[in-house]
Chain A
């Protein structure tokens, strides 16, 4: 049997009164465990996961399944339904239903994960305790934070939560996604659509260009006199050559990309007039999607695991924070070398982190792993491109050791196959994480 080294606080939990009934049931049931004395000698280690997105839900399930029952997993997530971002650009372009993006947590409950529908508002790394919005406290041996990103409503002049109701970011899928779609549907033919893209790092590096592509597809088929402009805070972007070749082939003259060096960086917006201001001039849009700068979800700053960049540095083998012991961070919230902020990456990191946490709790030394990221971008309904890479810990960072983007100059059948794979991947990952 494996040995465990749970913290002295491992089982001390504070719960609101509503837990009493559950406790009575547990107390009654635990009489049965007396029949197996070796069980009572062992205490399950407590792992608390904050955030039930691609990263957090994967970590919780991996630990619950592979933890051999030696690990009790609690997942803290305020939403009862998760809305996935991958393929949400197809929802924006009217090619897909938002419902296809939404997933519940029933399967996680069946995995014996204790799910708490609340927001974590505090973390005490010394006491190893998480506080919820209602004051409930939950103790942990190991904490895994997977809060995703926060949009920085202080990061772009004029762009606050209210402005987002006029110039949707649609960078967290849901109501914002449908709002952008409706605005496109309501736009008169001949209108100018503008997408504003922040400097690196941000969630899903190729995402803005996929959005531009699919909106262009919508405009080409439904509003052919319209144009699309990308105002960019940088001079190069992910899968750039492939996107540009596809735009030339599929949407000639429709998309204009303005890089940083040509005045692409948006420094201010005016929601009332849908005006985007750059250092070089002003652009007025019929529809504007403003993707603001981002940072790791707020709870990481509260826990003291975010550094002054706003992101969380971690050990690339265990994903333990470089700033606080016993707290691991995975998914979009981390910055740990070249791995992009993607659902695929978050899922890979979660599996590796869960394995390392289980090893640590067993008193073993975590083994270094290799991680994969594969990200598809859908440029048109039957035209997909991808980036696929392998990463490994080197000099304390997740470093790309192999990989690259789809080859140039491939026939339509190759692009169609990658478009099919994009959808197959989404089905596989969402089934693995939520199904």
Chain B
């Protein structure tokens, strides 16, 4: 049996357009991976990045990279990103919960 009418998606479009006006956009390079460990409500062991400012995140990652801040994994990961990438990620992470994956 073939149905051409099965289009629940069009309803969803309506809902989406009314409820969320802005698109989340594509996250900057590398940003999607952060939420693998950092969860929005914090977990005690792994800090909640949403509580930090862009500058605080940038400074922390820079210190990790130079080995000036005690770390378990962040010193290893920080070396994989440029200053510009870190700033873009930090800005994106602190722009409000609705924009994060």
Contacts and interface: CB of A to CB of B under 8 A. Distances in A.
Interface of A: 2, 11-17, 19, 22-23, 26-27, 29-30, 32-33, 36, 39-40, 42-44, 46, 62, 65-66, 68-72, 112, 114, 344, 347-348, 351-352, 355, 358-359, 367-372, 374, 386, 388-390, 392, 401-404, 406, 414, 417-418, 420-421, 424-425, 427-429, 431-432
B2 A14 contact: yes
B14 A370 contact: no
Contact of A70 (B3, B5, B13): B13
A401 B32 CA distance: 17
A414 B33 CA distance: 23
B30 A68 contact: no
Contacts of A388: 73, 76-77
Contacts of B38: 428
21 contacts: A30-B7, A65-B24, A66-B23, A68-B16, A69-B9, A69-B16, A69-B17, A352-B32, A355-B27, A358-B26, A370-B80, A372-B80, A374-B77, A386-B72, A386-B73, A392-B80, A402-B81, A406-B72, A424-B44, A432-B35, A432-B36
B14 A351 contact: no
Given A344-B36, A402-B80, A370 B29 contact: yes
Nearest to B19: A69
Given A370-B30, A428-B43, A69 B15 contact: yes
Nearest to A424: B45
Contact of B39 (A27, A36, A431): A431
Contact of A36 (B3, B14, B73): B14
Contacts of A29: 11
B37 A428 contact: yes
Interface residues of B, number: 46
A357 to B, nearest CB: 11
Contacts, number: 183
Contacts of A12: 2, 4
Contacts of A432: 35-36, 39
Contacts of B39: 427-428, 431-432
B79 interface: yes
Contacts of B8: 26, 72, 114
A43 B10 contact: yes
Nearest to A343: B36
A372 B29 CA distance: 11
A23 B2 CA distance: 12
Given A406-B72, A421-B72, A26 B5 contact: yes
A370 B24 CA distance: 19
Q: Which 9 A-B pairs have the closest CB atoms?
A: A69-B16, A390-B80, A44-B9, A402-B80, A72-B9, A372-B33, A351-B32, A370-B30, A388-B73
Contacts of B2: 12-14
Given A69-B12, A352-B32, A372-B36, A44 B77 contact: no
B77 A425 contact: no
Contacts of A39: 10, 13-14, 17
A114 B6 CA distance: 12
Contacts of A66: 23-24, 101
Contact of A347 (B7, B36, B79): B36
